[in-house]
């Protein structure tokens, strides 16, 4: 499976998964788990890039992804503890985790410039997908105002990530 196809498959899973079907109403615990899982997936990919990337800009981007996603995930964990909510695993978060493991394995087979290009292309696609899901599904479905605010803050950060990934991708061509 190509990396871009994998990103597209992850996008379809996130956007059309059972938990995100149009008539399904996500609960705040499910939303929290999906958002946390998406952040964890990007942290794992970035940590792989920290060790495998050959381009300094790609490594710097990966450093930013680890720092930012760990910070947002910490805020999410602090919020669910404060609200006494247990994040709820669901079909979407499970599918995302499986797809991410497959993608990490595919990226793991690459090295040098091929890894750099594939990683950054995946980051562009992944952030587009996650940002769209946040904007169109997760934020509107959130009931709790604090969760909704955290998701909105995350969206702003992740939109910046998407632009940064697009810039790095353009530099690698």
Question: 71: domain CATH number?
Answer: 1.20.1260.10
Token pair 């956007």: residue: 15
Which tokens in the block code for residue 35? 């958002």
Residue 59: inside a domain: yes
Residue 21: inside a domain: no
**CB-based burial, 74-99: b 16+ in 10 Å, e otherwise:** eebeebbeeeeeebbebbbbbbbbeb
* pLDDT interval class at 5 (50, 70, 90): very low
Residue 164: inside a domain: yes
Note the pLDDT tens digit of each residue in 115-138. 999 999 999 999 999 999 999 999
Give the structural domain span for 35: 3-14+27-172
Asked if 104 contacts 44 with a C-beta cutoff of 8 angstroms, the reply is: yes
* pLDDT interval class at 24 (50, 70, 90): low
Report how many domains make up the chain. 1
* pLDDT interval class at 92 (50, 70, 90): confident
Q: How far apart are CA 32 and CA 77, in angstroms?
A: 9
Q: How far apart are CA 141 and CA 24, in angstroms?
A: 10
Token pair 């595919």: residue: 106
């Amino acid at each position: 499976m190509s990396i871009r196809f994998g990103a597209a498959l992850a996008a379809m899973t996130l956007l059309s998964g059972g938990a995100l079907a149009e008539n399904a109403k996500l609960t705040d615990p499910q939303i929290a788990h999906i958002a946390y899982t998406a952040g964890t997936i990007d942290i794992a990919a970035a940590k792989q890039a920290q060790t495998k990337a050959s381009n300094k800009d790609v490594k710097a981007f990966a450093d930013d992804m680890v720092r930012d996603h760990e910070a947002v995930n910490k805020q999410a964990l602090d919020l669910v503890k404060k609200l006494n909510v247990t994040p709820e695993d669901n079909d979407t978060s499970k599918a995302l985790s499986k797809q991410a493991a497959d993608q990490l394995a595919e990226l793991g087979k690459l090295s040098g410039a091929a890894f750099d290009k594939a990683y950054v292309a995946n980051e562009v696609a992944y952030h587009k997908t996650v940002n769209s899901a946040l904007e169109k599904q997760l934020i509107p479905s959130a009931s709790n105002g604090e969760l909704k605010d955290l998701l909105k803050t995350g969206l702003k950060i992740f939109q910046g990530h998407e632009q940064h990934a697009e810039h790095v991708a353009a530099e690698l061509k």
